[in-house]
Each structure stands twice: as C-alpha cells, then as structure tokens.
Amino acid sequence: MNLQTSFSPVIPIAYLATASLAFYLLLNLPQRIRNVCFPILIVPAWRAFATFEYFTWPDSLDGIWGLAVMIWVAHIISLLYVDQIPSQSKSRKQWDMKAAYKLLFDVRHLSDGPETSLPAVSTSKSTLIAFVAYRLLKLIAYWLLTVHLFTPLIPLVFGPVEPWEFDQYAQTYLRRLPFFEAIEPVTLRETCIRVVFTFRWIWLSFVDIDAAHTFLSIMFVGLLQLDSPAEWPPMFGSPSKAFTIRRYWGRFWHRLVHKPYLSLAKIVAGRLCVPSLGHSAEKVFLAFLIFLISGLAHAMVSLQRGKLVEAVDDVAFYCVNFFVMATEGCVLGSAGPMRGLLPQWCWKIIGYVWVFTFWFWVAPKWSYSEVHGEMLKEIERQNRALGLGLFTGLLGGE
C-alpha cells in the first residue's frame, strides 16, 4: 500500500469537515441568507459522498459512509430549511460552537423533548473506562464472528459453491416450487443455502452498522470526550420484538433515518395536498415516502459505484417492504378477534416464522446479484493469476 493510498480516506473526511463548518456558518445566519448560501453546504457534502470509494477497508465501509452522508445531509436540510431552526434560542446562543456541534450529528434528535433530554452531568473516569472496554470487547466479538463464522459460513456448511448457485435464476424461489412444474425446480441444497444466507445477510447488515456506531462512540466518548455515554445509546432494539415486519423495522432495526426522512416526506406530502385526505391517509403516505427515500439513498450509493441494476433493486426492495408491511397491517387488523384462540407466545412464534420467511424470500432477490458478481470477479482474478504464472514459467524455461 503506497503513501497516497494510505491517506486517501482523508479526502472524504475533509469534505465532510468542510460541510460541517458550512453548517456552523449557516446555522448562525438569518434564514434568507441561508437560502442563498445553500451551495456552500451542499457542494462539499456531495463531494464527501462522491469520494466514498477512497474507503477501501473494511470492504463495506465505503457504502456505510455513503449512506451516512446521505442521511446527514437530510438531517441538516431538515434543521436549516424545513424546521428553520433559529440562529439562537433560550438554550443556545448565537455562534455557540458546542451547541452547534450537538446539533450537527444528533440525527436521531435524542435531545428533543423532556422524555429524551440528555442529562448534563460529568462522566467519571471509571464510567468512561467501562464504556470503552465494553465496546472494544463488542468490536472484537463482531470481528471474530464475522471473519471466522458468518463470512465463510456457506462454504463451511455446504463445501465449494459455484457462481450459478447465486445467479439471476437462483434469485427466484416460489415460482420454482415443485407443484408449479418448473423446468428446474428448487432443490434441498438450494433451499438450505438460502436459509443460511438469510441468517448471514441479517447478521452482516446488522454488524456493518452497529460496529461503525460502536467505533464512533469510542472515538467521541472515550478518546475525544466530546460526548457523554448517554448521548450514544444503542442503535438497535431487541430481536425478540421483531415478530412482524412492521416491528422488525420499528422496534428492532435502527431508527437513524426516521426523523430526517420524515421531515422531507412531510414537505412532499404537503406539496401534494395529502394532509387534506385525512390523518390515516397522510400517515400511510408518509411511511411510504420514508421507505422510498431510503431506497433512493441506497440507489445513489449503487449508482456511484456504477451499478445501475443494483440501484433499481434497492428502490424495489424498500418499496416491497412497505407494501408487505401495509398488507401485514391490514391482515392483522382484520384478524383481531382470532388472537384469543392461541396464547400470545404461539402468535409470536408464528410471527417469527413469518418474518424469517419474508426475508428468506426477499433477501436473495436483493443480494444474490452482488454475491454472484463478486464470485465471478474472484474467478477472473484467479484465472489471471494462473495465466500470469504459466506465462512467467514459460519465459523462465520451465
């Protein structure tokens, strides 16, 4: 690794720092000047996103950075141009750098309202040590499980796998069940691979985000000591609460995007006069827009990587999740009188099976193409290395 490559991640970080300084400036200016000076924020923010390919290790960091910047931009736009937060208030003086910093990355709005206000107390040294030690142990556990178990899990269980086992045809499942008399019906091996892949996909998706959050909490609480432990609560809820698709997204999965995307969704809904249709219609439409914006944000990352097909799949994935969640809500609403027929723990087990079945169906449709492409690239690299070795051998007279 040369020196230029070693320092290349500084480039997107520097762009984000520039955008952060622009936020500090705009926060302390009148609203009319903010509107005119919007480019001084969005240009470096866009460059912070567009240069995410400079993050080469770990492999998933570039995508996480790109999505994080998109969410952050939505958060800043919400503060400055939707909520139009004033340049000073009772709790914040103008040009107060510390108060501006607290707004800068509070994407979840943890300090909003009395029920979520964060106590302004000093943190003892022992508390900081315990905070950092626990999170370091968590990072080590994540690394060990990911590298030595979940990443090689499928080859460990099933032996060598071929690219065709993850191609476009393998993404389909239901229509290839035996009673549909498909030309190539699903096999037991294919079904087992999908089961293991689904668990692996959920784990890797969770760890990518939570490990990044854990690392940043160590940096800002333990090393820089800019924040208190209370300002870095867990990103995810308990998996035990995810016995419906709605609860999977609302109770287990992180809520990082909810408030910034909701602010943007309300603007769109207002322009389309959706609130006039009633509270229920507006609520459903806002939920749809949040999922759509999430899909578009993921699609922007895929497009930046030059992967148009994956960008379309990203939007489709989140739209499918919304429509399945809406259908689930209608079914559960109409099945209310039946809930007394079985104890609650039985319904929860049925719910867990349903949630896993949904991911078993949808996760390969979203991720198999990427796995297939990576396997083909690896085979191409091996073939090139083999060809180069043979060519070198011939030149050497062997």
Q: How far apart are CA 289 and CA 283, in angstroms?
A: 10
Q: How far apart are CA 171 and CA 163, in angstroms?
A: 12
3-state SS assignment for residue 208: helix
pLDDT confidence of residue 116: 40
Digit-coded pLDDT (tens) for 228-269:
999 999 999 999 999 999 999 999 999 899 999 999 999 999
| Lookup result for tokens 């004033």 | 86
pLDDT confidence of residue 122: 64
pLDDT confidence of residue 2: 53
Dig out the tokens for 267 from the structure.
């603007």
Closest CA to 285 of 327, 326, 245, 253: 326
Q: How far apart are CA 17 and CA 47, in angstroms?
A: 11
Q: How far is CA 369 from CA 180, 203, 313, in A?
A: 24, 18, 10
8 Å CB contact between 213 and 139: no
pLDDT tier, 389 (very low <50, low <70, confident <90, very high otherwise): low
Dig out the tokens for 338 from the structure.
């039946």
pTM: 0.89
8 Å CB contact between 218 and 135: yes
Whether residue 86 has a cis bond before it, omega within 30° of 0 = no
| Lookup result for tokens 């955008």 | 19
| Lookup result for tokens 């083909």 | 376
Q: Which amino acid is at 81?
A: Y
pLDDT confidence of residue 393: 58
Closest CA to 362 of 173, 96, 81, 91: 173
8 Å CB contact between 321 and 245: yes
Q: What are the residue ranges spanned by the domains of the chain?
A: 1-105
Q: How far apart are CA 227 and CA 354, in angstroms?
A: 40
pLDDT confidence of residue 3: 46
pLDDT beyond 80 at 135: yes
Mean pLDDT confidence for 154-175: 91
What spatial distance separates the first Cα and last Cα of the chain, rounded to whole Å? 31
Q: How far apart are CA 50 and CA 34, in angstroms?
A: 24
Q: How far apart are CA 78 and CA 103, in angstroms?
A: 11
Side-chain half-sphere CA neighbours of 212 within 13 A: 18
SS3 content of the chain, % helix, strand, coil (to 5): 75, 0, 25
pLDDT beyond 90 at 384: no
